Amino acid sequence: MVDILVKLLLLQVTVADHRLQYAMMETSDEREQAFIEGVLAVCEFFEDALEEIWEGEVAE
């Protein structure tokens, strides 16, 4: 169980890092801005999913 928790934690850190990097990007190009917003939405989705998995694993 510890192995899966470590992997989940590493994945969560990676997703959070990507979210932060994309959040700092600025562009005036609408297509690039749409892409950045899409990446941020995906990162948020993954963070929420990882949090639910984490809580489920810790509860066991």
How far is residue 8's CA from residue 56's CA, in Å, rounded to a whole number?
Answer: 12
What separation, in Å, do the N-terminal and C-terminal C-alpha atoms of the chain show?
Answer: 9
Q: What's the DSSP call for residue 24?
A: T
Beta-carbon neighbour count of residue 32 at 10 Å? 12
What is the band of 2 on the pLDDT scale with cuts at 50, 70, 90? confident
Percent of all residues in the chain with a pLDDT value above 70, rounded to a whole number:
97
H helix intervals, 24-59 = 30-59
pLDDT tops 90 at residue 9: no
What is the torsional sign of CA 11, 13, 18, 22? positive
pTM metric for this prediction: 0.74
